[in-house]
């Protein structure tokens, strides 16, 4: 049980939400005193009082609104609705020691997953050796046999990844998902930091926080590294599906910050296996495409023929080595939720090392025993469609209705390869300042890694918060909010 959070003199600050008993609290220790790395913040709040937080929260919302930091929520019935990015002003603080382990774990994972992708699309040694079942790969929606035997520049497939981490009841960091296709959220990580610096400079004065704002520079450097015509003269574009995409804000943000063109499919053309940008001065050859268009829509000559979002011929140009694509097509099979269960084996197989970061136990619905167990215990499980992301196609057992469970049971029986299940982890909680009160909410962490000449994990990430009391769903697309994430220098 959480002890009340007492303020210095006002008596108004309190944590009213006690939440599930088991979840790890980021802010409090077991004896209900703030953890050491939160003490400076706690002291400051005690001195300043609750009114200060209220003013700061309003300022933050106004700043995000004025700067147009928004995101789009989709629902089945409605068109996308644009909302101001929900931001909680109390930052999450990660001590240097904790971060070192996260960083090393993510680097290890990305190194192994890249070797895995290279192997899958070439010699398939890991399948021949029976470490990963070939059926799992060949039934995977995101395995792209169309790109077999193509070697991307420097054998890098996952140039940008966002690895979702949670903390279990004991505070141990676990990998929940690898996002290796076109992970989004990095612009919000940076915007959160910019706002936080402006709103709460007094907090920063008490900590040595590592920078995240240089992410666009790191990304630009990594993209240049891929250029077939050399880094110096590299022409880079960000390829967006357009304004109706939920992450369009991020596409414009990154293009602007890197100082490169933002292009839609119709702005590019393939000629003799080279990609060109149409400009008022004529065609300009493009070396690197940071594409935020899904594989399916990337090239109508190879993938979906009805796609108008991509560039006809881009896969041929990529195969010929005349253009680099980040991330590489086909990378999605490595973040397939059914493949996820094999990542510890994949790390051991390619690197000969024990995984640094643990995973959440995963039940394969293709396994009859696992399936029976899950169908009998759906209320205790999170069930996920393997190729979906953003919290879509998911059943949260504890909060589900009997009708929803019956629907998922039917879907699992129809297509077992399409689903996995995991026991519900009471993910960690943190204090949030919501509607004038301090409350605890569950959260996760998505750090971003860039694979250029080496792998860099930006010290920070997007902390996503489940804004609804007791909810474990943090996805922005499902109404989640966010916090600035501070990694301490020492």
Binding-site ranges for other proteins (CB under 8 A)? 124, 127-128, 130, 134-135, 137-139, 144-149, 266, 269-273, 300-301, 305, 312-313, 316, 319-320
**Backbone angles phi and psi of 372, in degrees to 5:** -60, -45
Tell me whether residue 97 or residue 130 sits nearer to other proteins (CB atom): 130
Instruction: In angstroms, give the least distance from the CB of 274 to other proteins.
Output: 11
The least CB distance from residue 200 to other proteins, in Å, is 51
Nearer to other proteins by C-beta: 240 or 316?
A: 316
Residue nearer to other proteins on the CB measure, 124 or 404: 124
Q: In whole angstroms, what is the distance from residue 298 CA to residue 315 CA?
A: 8
Specify the residue, 294 or 439, whose C-beta has the smaller distance to other proteins: 294
The angle at the Cα of 438, spanning 436 to 440, to the nearest 5 degrees, equals 135
Q: Cα 484 from chain centroid?
A: 15
Can you list the pairs that 36-42 forms with residues at least 24 positions away whose Cβ atoms lie under 8 Å?
37/93, 37/95, 37/488, 38/93, 40/203, 40/206, 40/207, 41/90, 41/91, 41/93, 41/203, 41/206, 41/207
What are the Cα distances from residue 115, in Å, to 151, 287, 371? 12, 24, 30
CB of 363 to other proteins, least distance (A): 21
Between CA 484 and CA 103 the distance in angstroms is 18
Residue with tokens 């890197």: 258
Minimum distance from CB of 336 to other proteins (Å)?
A: 15
Contact between 190 and 215 under an 8 Å Cβ cutoff? The reply is: yes
Which residue, 275 or 385, has its beta carbon nearer to other proteins? Answer: 275
Q: Judge residue 136's burial from the number of C-beta atoms within 10 Å of its C-beta, 0-12 exposed, 13-18 middle, 19 or more buried.
A: buried
- Output 78 or 129, the one with its CB closest to other proteins: 129
Tell whether the torsion through CA atoms of 13, 19, 25 and 30 is positive or negative.
positive
Query: 236 or 275, CB closer to other proteins?
Result: 275
Say if residue 170 is exposed, middle or buried (CB neighbours under 10 Å; 0-12, 13-18, 19+): exposed
How far apart (Å, rounded) are the C-alpha atoms in residues 224 and 235? 8
Q: How far is the CB of 145 from other proteins (least distance, A)?
A: 5
Which of these, 5, 176, 177, 186, lies nearest to 85 by C-alpha position?
186
> Which one, 272 or 453, has the nearer CB to other proteins?
272
CA distances 84 to 60, 72, 97, 187, Å, are: 11, 9, 34, 14
Helix, strand, coil % over all residues of the chain, rounded to 5: 35, 25, 40
Choose between 123 and 436: whose C-beta lies nearer to other proteins: 123
Measured from the CB of residue 408, what is the shortest distance to other proteins in angstroms? 21
């Amino acid at each position: 049980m959480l002890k009340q959070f007492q303020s210095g003199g006002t008596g108004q600050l309190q944590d009213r939400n006690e939440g599930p008993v088991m979840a790890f609290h980021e802010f409090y220790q077991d004896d209900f005193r703030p953890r050491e790395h939160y003490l400076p913040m706690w002291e400051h709040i005690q001195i300043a009082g609750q009114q200060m937080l209220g003013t700061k929260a309003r300022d933050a919302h106004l700043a995000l609104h004025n700067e147009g930091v928004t995101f789009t929520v989709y629902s089945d019935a409605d068109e996308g609705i644009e909302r101001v990015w929900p931001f909680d002003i109390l930052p999450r603080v990660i001590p240097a020691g904790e971060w070192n382990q996260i960083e090393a774990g993510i680097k290890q994972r990305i190194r192994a997953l890249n070797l895995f992708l290279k192997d899958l699309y070439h010699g398939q040694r890991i399948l021949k050796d029976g470490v990963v079942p070939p059926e799992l790969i060949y039934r995977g929606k995101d395995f792209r046999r169309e790109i077999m035997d193509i070697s991307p520049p420097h054998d890098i497939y996952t140039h940008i990844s966002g690895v979702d981490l949670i903390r279990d009841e004991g505070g141990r960091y676990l990998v929940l998902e690898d996002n290796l296709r076109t992970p989004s959220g990095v612009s919000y990580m940076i915007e959160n930091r910019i706002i936080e610096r402006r709103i709460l400079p007094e907090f920063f004065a008490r900590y040595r926080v590592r920078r995240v704002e240089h992410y666009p520079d790191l990304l630009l450097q990594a993209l240049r590294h891929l250029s077939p015509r050399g880094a110096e003269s590299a022409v880079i574009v960000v390829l967006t599906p357009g304004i109706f995409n939920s992450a369009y804000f991020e596409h414009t943000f990154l293009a602007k910050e890197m100082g490169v063109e933002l292009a839609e499919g119709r702005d590019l053309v393939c000629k003799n296996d080279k990609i060109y940008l149409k400009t008022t001065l004529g065609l300009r050859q493009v070396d690197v495409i940071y594409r935020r268009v899904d594989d399916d829509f990337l090239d109508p000559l190879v993938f979906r023929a009805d796609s108008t979002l991509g560039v006809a011929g881009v896969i041929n140009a990529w195969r010929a080595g005349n253009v680099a694509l980040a991330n590489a097509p086909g990378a999605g099979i490595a973040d397939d939720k059914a493949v996820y269960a094999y990542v510890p084996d994949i790390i051991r197989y390619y690197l000969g090392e024990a995984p640094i970061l643990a995973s959440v136990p995963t039940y394969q619905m293709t396994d009859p025993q696992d399936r029976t167990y899950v169908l009998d215990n759906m209320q205790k499980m999170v069930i996920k469609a393997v190729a979906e992301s953003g919290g879509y196609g998911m059943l949260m057992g504890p909060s589900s209705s009997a009708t929803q469970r019956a629907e998922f049971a039917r879907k699992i029986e129809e297509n077992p390869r399409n689903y996995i299940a995991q026991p519900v982890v009471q993910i960690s909680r943190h204090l949030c300042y919501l509607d004038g009160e301090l409350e605890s909410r569950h959260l996760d962490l998505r750090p971003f890694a860039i694979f250029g000449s080496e792998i860099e994990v930006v010290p920070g990430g997007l902390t996503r918060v489940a804004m609804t009391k007791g909810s474990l769903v943090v996805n922005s697309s499902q109404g989640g909010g966010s916090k600035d994430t501070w990694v301490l220098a020492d």
